């Protein structure tokens, strides 16, 4: 299983009035790791789109364990838990100094970019996920 971890320092703009990271930003953090995960697997969103595919989010789930605050250096780890049919489940954990702050997943449907109808993923993606 391919896992990717990126580091991200929380800017002030990510925080809310309570001086903690706004809860909705965690899904953006998940997306950051997902982008790098795909790149690590050998292709980017840009390349998938060039092949005529899209991966729209069908479901998102986040469990919040502890708050992140301004200037924290986050470690955001993402991995593909499953790929069945046209559905792809990407899991993510956000940590700071080893402490789990948030965990969750997004589920995507592999779709034709023009019609947005579900379709089988490109062979290169299947081979990468199996290998």
- The stretch 14-22 carries a mean pLDDT of 95
Quickly tell me which residue has 């595919």 as its tokens: 53
Active site residues: 16
CATH code assigned at 28: 3.10.129.10
pLDDT over 80 (residue 129): no
Longest Cα separation, the chain: 47
The total number of structural domains in the chain stands at: 1
pLDDT in tens, 56-95: 999 999 999 999 999 999 999 999 998 888 999 999 999 9
Supply the pTM of this predicted model.
Answer: 0.91
What pLDDT was estimated at residue 131?
Answer: 58
As a whole number of angstroms, the distance between CA 106 and CA 88 comes to 8
Domain limits for position 46: 3-130
**Nearest CA-CA partner of 87 in 49, 112, 60, 55:** 55
Are the beta carbons of 90 and 62 closer than 8 angstroms?
no
130 pLDDT band, cuts 50/70/90, is: low
- Average pLDDT in the chain: 93
């Amino acid at each position: 299983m391919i896992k990717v971890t990126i580091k991200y320092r929380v800017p002030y703009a990510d925080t809310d009035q309570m001086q903690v990271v706004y809860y909705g930003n965690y899904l953006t953090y998940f997306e950051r790791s997902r982008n790098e995960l795909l790149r690590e697997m050998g292709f980017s969103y840009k390349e998938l789109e060039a092949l005529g595919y899209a991966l729209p989010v069908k479901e998102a789930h986040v469990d919040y364990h502890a708050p992140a605050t301004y200037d924290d250096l986050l470690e955001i780890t993402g991995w593909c838990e499953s790929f069945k049919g046209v559905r792809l489940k990407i899991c993510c954990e956000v940590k700071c100094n080893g402490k789990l702050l948030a965990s969750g997943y997004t589920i995507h449907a592999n779709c034709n970019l023009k019609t947005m109808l579900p379709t089988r993923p490109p062979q290169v993606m299947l081979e990468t996920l199996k290998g």
